């Protein structure tokens, strides 16, 4: 199996068996976003540790294409143990590295939706941003 096929299998696995799927009862903050181009929706729940900075747990619910949902699942694992500041510093390439496959320009918004939702949710929680919902249409 080539490396590309391995990553495709990983995406399918995370899509069919998402990690950390479900609402988080004791979330410090939650945020929802959508990609209106293809109907992807993701709501992320983040629980911070007592230091109000370190991510203890992340979960999500959502609906959409394999790329958006697999990305949310992968990100939910990756973010645990990171700080809110580290989340703020993440960029598109970090998500692309997690996915491990080339994503067409039309699918980039699907791939980065979860990252954008968690970054906006953290910014709203910190008082740096005042919006109700996140989309990738910026």
Residue 137 domain-assigned (yes or no): no
Residue 136 domain-assigned (yes or no): no
Q: pLDDT tens digits for 58-78?
A: 999 999 999 999 999 999 999
Axis-axis angle for helices 3-16, 66-78 (nearest 10): 90
Q: What pLDDT does 2 receive?
A: 65
Determine the structural domain holding residue 26 and report its residue range.
3-130
Residue 19: DSSP 8-state: T
Q: How many domains does the chain have?
A: 1
Q: pLDDT tens digits for 9-57?
A: 989 999 999 999 999 999 999 999 999 888 999 999 999 999 999 999 9
Residue 12 domain-assigned (yes or no): yes
Least confidently predicted of 58-67, 76-85, 122-131? 122-131
- 25: domain CATH number is 3.90.1010.10
Residue 91 domain-assigned (yes or no): yes
Residue 81 domain-assigned (yes or no): yes
Q: Please report which confidence band the pLDDT of residue 138 belongs to, taking 50, 70 and 90 as the band edges.
A: very low
Q: Is the pLDDT of residue 120 over 60?
A: yes
Residue 10 domain-assigned (yes or no): yes
């Amino acid at each position: 199996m080539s490396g590309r096929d391995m990553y495709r299998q990983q995406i399918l696995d995370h899509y069919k068996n998402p990690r950390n799927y479900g609402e988080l009862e004791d979330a410090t903050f939650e945020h929802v976003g959508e990609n209106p181009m293809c109907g992807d929706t993701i709501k992320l729940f983040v629980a911070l540790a007592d230091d109000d900075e370190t991510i203890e747990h992340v979960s999500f619910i959502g609906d959409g294409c394999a790329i958006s949902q697999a990305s949310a699942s992968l990100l939910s694992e990756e973010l645990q143990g990171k700080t809110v500041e580290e989340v703020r510093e993440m960029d598109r390439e970090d998500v692309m590295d997690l996915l491990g496959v080339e994503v067409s320009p039309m699918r980039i918004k699907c791939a980065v939706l979860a990252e954008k939702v968690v970054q906006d949710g953290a910014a709203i929680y910190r008082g740096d941003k005042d919006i109700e919902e996140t989309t990738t249409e910026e």
